[in-house]
Chains A and B, each alone.
Chain A
C-alpha cells in the first residue's frame, strides 16, 4: 500500500496543490541582530578605555588637553552628573594620584534650559515666572533681581508696604535656604540627623510662604511695582508661632554641628579660599564674607528698605569650609532680627504700584542686583521699546562660587570633595540657567 502523501504544512503550499496561486505573503523581517546595530553596545566591545572620561573629540583648548593627558600613576574618576552629593546635575571629572586630587574639570550644562532666550521672547510680566525655577531653593531672590532691574528701567516706585513684605518674605526664605544648607553639608559628610531637623524648619517656612503666595517652591510672588498679595491671617499666625521659637530652634540645630567633633575636624582648614583669590574669582555672598571681605549688597549697595534696618554683616577670616558654614549660622540670626523689625515697623498702604496692562519701557539699560542666600543675584536688562526685553542677562552667584572648585580641590583628598563642594553651596538650577 503506497504511503499516504503527507499534507502540505503551510497554507501557501496547500493552495499550490489546489492549483491556486496566491500573492506572496510579506516575509517577516530578518531577525534583528544586536551585533549589526551600531547603537547597541556588547560586552565584548567594551574596552578598558570606555570608562575613561577622555572627550570623544579633539581637545578644544590647551587647558583641556593638559587636563586629559594622564601622568604617571594618575587616574580619572567621574563624580556625577547623578550623584547625591553634587547638589543637582553637576559632573566633576577628577584626576587623582592615589587618593589625592591633582586636577578637576567641572562639566556643566546638564540642566541648561535657555532661560535667557525664553525671557527675551516673553513679555515683562511673564519673565518673573520664567526666572523662578533658576534658583529653586530660594526663588524669591531671583524674582527680586529681575524686578529690581525692571523697576529701574521703568522708573517705578514701589509702595513701602510692598518693600516690607518683600524683605519679610525674602529673609524668611534666606533662613529656609541656610537651614537646608546646614543639613545638606552634614549629610554630605555622613551625618544624617541634621537634615531631618533642617527639613522640619524649612517645611514650616515653606508652608508659611505657601499661605502667603500660594506655592511652596516656585512662588511667582513679586511683581513689577509690588507684590502679588497682601499679608493674610494664616501667614501671620504661622509666622507668629514660628517666631516664638525660631531663635531657640536655630541655636539647637546649629548646636548639632557646631559641637560635633567629627564635623568640625572634617571641615576645619579644608578648602581654604583666601581673600585675594575670592576677589579674583568674583565670589560673593557668605563664601566671600568667610574670606574676610564684608561685601553684602544689602549694605554695600543698598536696595529696598535695608538702609533703615539694623543688622550686622558677619565676616570671618579663616576662609575654610567651617568658616563658610559658621557664616551661614550667623546670617540666620541676623535674618531673624530683620524679620522681627519688619513685623514691628510694617506700614499700612497698598502693595502694588499702578501700572499699565502692557509694559513698554523706553529704550534703555538697567542693572539690578540683590543679595541672595548664595551671593549677588543680578539681572541686566536692555529694552528696545517693545513689550519684551531685548536682552535679559541673568547673573547667578553659584556659577562663580563653583568656579573656584578647580582651585580649591587640588591637594586635598577625594573625600574632601564633598566637604568643599557642599560648603560652597552651589545650586545647579541657577548655574546651568
Chain B
C-alpha cells in the first residue's frame, strides 16, 4: 500500500474523487464520475509527479444497477496499481468519454467494452463490434444476458448468482416457462 500516493491523489484530485480512496494489497482505488474522466486521466498521465504512462487495462463492468468502466494504470512513481472506477453510468443509455486522446490503444479496449456491454465511448472514432459479428444485437457480458444452461432449466433454477437478482420479473409473468430468458430491453 502506497500511502504517499493516497495523499498525492487527495491533494490533486480531491474534488473529483467520489468517496474514500481504498487501498488493499498493491492496489489503490479511486472512484470518479463519467464527466471527470478526461480531466482526471490527463492529470494522472501528464503531470510530473504522477506520470501514469501505461494503461494496463480498461474493463467494462455491469453491476446490475449501473455500468462501470474500470481503468488500471501503472507508473514508475508508485509501487501500486492505480484503479480508477468510473461509476454511475446508466444501464439504459451507457455513455462514457473515450480515453483514446491519451492512449491510442484504448480504441480496441473500448471497442471490446462496447461489444460486450454496449457502453458508448464518446470520442472513439471506430466504435464498432470487435468479437461478435456485425449483425449481432445483444451485449453478452451484461448481467441480464443469461446462459441457457442446465441450472436455468432445472428445478434449482436461479441458484446461480448471476440469475438471482436481475430477472425475477420474467418468472412472475410466466411461471410455467421452463427456460428463463433475459428481459426484452
Indicate if the CB atoms of A378 and B57 lie closer than 8 Å: yes
Whether B56 sits at the interface, judged by CB under 8 Å, is: yes
Report the minimum CB–CB distance from A403 to chain B (whole Å).
Answer: 5
A400 to B55, CA, bound (A): 10
Indicate if the CB atoms of A114 and B140 lie closer than 8 Å: yes
User: A231-242: contact bitstring with B at CB < 8 Å (1 yes, 0 no)?
Assistant: 000000000000
A117 to B145, CA, bound (A): 10
User: B113-146: contact bitstring with A at CB < 8 Å (1 yes, 0 no)?
Assistant: 0001000000001111111111100001100010
Contacts of A382 in B (CB 8 A): 61
Interface segment, B10-18, B34-42, B76-84, B173-181?
B76-84
Q: Known contacts being A300-B74, A365-B29, is A279 close to B54, with CB within 8 Å?
A: yes
A386 to B83, CA, bound (A): 23
Indicate if the CB atoms of A60 and B108 lie closer than 8 Å: no
Classify the secondary structure of A's interface with B.
mixed
Contacts of B54 in A (CB 8 A): 279, 282, 284, 295
Q: Known contacts being A57-B135, A112-B131, A382-B61, is A281 close to B83, with CB within 8 Å?
A: no
Whether B70 sits at the interface, judged by CB under 8 Å, is: yes
Q: Known contacts being A55-B134, A369-B81, A403-B105, is A64 close to B128, with CB within 8 Å?
A: yes
Classify the secondary structure of B's interface with A.
loop
Whether A337 sits at the interface, judged by CB under 8 Å, is: no
User: B66-99: contact bitstring with A at CB < 8 Å (1 yes, 0 no)?
Assistant: 0000101010100101010000000000000000
Whether A204 sits at the interface, judged by CB under 8 Å, is: no
Contacts of A64 in B (CB 8 A): 126, 128
Contacts of A55 in B (CB 8 A): 134
Contacts of A283 in B (CB 8 A): 105
Report the minimum CB–CB distance from B22 to chain A (whole Å).
Answer: 9
Indicate if the CB atoms of A399 and B132 lie closer than 8 Å: no
A300 to B55, CA, bound (A): 14
Report the minimum CB–CB distance from A68 to chain B (whole Å).
Answer: 12
Interface segment, A83-91, A191-199, A255-263, A388-396?
A388-396
A395 to B59, CA, bound (A): 9
Q: Known contacts being A60-B128, A117-B140, A369-B81, is A280 close to B133, with CB within 8 Å?
A: no
Chain B residue at minimal CB-CB distance from A151: B25
Whether B106 sits at the interface, judged by CB under 8 Å, is: yes
A282 to B107, CA, bound (A): 11
Chain A residue at minimal CB-CB distance from B100: A280
Indicate if the CB atoms of A432 and B26 lie closer than 8 Å: no
Indicate if the CB atoms of A282 and B55 lie closer than 8 Å: yes
Indicate if the CB atoms of A112 and B132 lie closer than 8 Å: yes
A280 to B46, CA, bound (A): 12
Indicate if the CB atoms of A367 and B81 lie closer than 8 Å: yes
A121 to B140, CA, bound (A): 13
Which of A280, A364, A388 makes the CB contact (< 8 A) with B24?
A364
Indicate if the CB atoms of A116 and B103 lie closer than 8 Å: no
Whether A152 sits at the interface, judged by CB under 8 Å, is: yes
The size bracket of the interface on A is 35 or more
Indicate if the CB atoms of A280 and B103 lie closer than 8 Å: yes
Whether A347 sits at the interface, judged by CB under 8 Å, is: no
Which of B59, B128, B135 makes the CB contact (< 8 A) with A393?
B59
Report the minimum CB–CB distance from A287 to chain B (whole Å).
Answer: 12
Q: Known contacts being A109-B132, A279-B53, A382-B61, is A121 close to B162, with CB within 8 Å?
A: yes
Indicate if the CB atoms of B160 and A388 lie closer than 8 Å: yes
Which of A63, A114, A393 makes the CB contact (< 8 A) with B125?
A63
Chain B residue at minimal CB-CB distance from A282: B105
Whether B104 sits at the interface, judged by CB under 8 Å, is: yes
A295 to B54, CA, bound (A): 10
A297 to B128, CA, bound (A): 31
User: A387-414: contact bitstring with B at CB < 8 Å (1 yes, 0 no)?
Assistant: 0101101010001100100010000000
Indicate if the CB atoms of A388 and B103 lie closer than 8 Å: no
Which of B59, B130, B134 makes the CB contact (< 8 A) with A108?
B130
Indicate if the CB atoms of B162 and A400 lie closer than 8 Å: no
Chain A residue at minimal CB-CB distance from B104: A280
Indicate if the CB atoms of B141 and A117 lie closer than 8 Å: yes
A251 to B94, CA, bound (A): 54
Chain B residue at minimal CB-CB distance from A107: B130
Indicate if the CB atoms of A400 and B108 lie closer than 8 Å: yes
Which of A376, A384, A399 makes the CB contact (< 8 A) with B56?
A376
Indicate if the CB atoms of A116 and B104 lie closer than 8 Å: no
A279 to B51, CA, bound (A): 12
Indicate if the CB atoms of B131 and A366 lie closer than 8 Å: no
A230 to B125, CA, bound (A): 51
Whether A184 sits at the interface, judged by CB under 8 Å, is: no
Of the A-B pairs whose beta carbons lie under 8 Å apart in the complex, a sample of 6, sorted by A's number, is A152-B25, A279-B53, A367-B57, A388-B160, A388-B161, A390-B161
A-B pairs with the 10 shortest C-beta distances?
A: A282-B105, A109-B131, A281-B105, A63-B126, A112-B131, A393-B59, A60-B128, A386-B161, A395-B57, A280-B104
Which B residues lie at the A interface, using CB under 8 A?
A: 24-27, 29, 53-57, 59, 61-62, 70, 72, 74, 76, 79, 81, 83, 102-109, 112, 116, 125-135, 140-141, 145, 147, 149, 160-162
Q: Given A280-B105, A282-B55, 11 more contacts at CB 8 Å? A: A60-B128, A64-B128, A152-B24, A280-B102, A300-B76, A366-B25, A399-B108, A400-B105, A400-B108, A400-B109, A432-B131
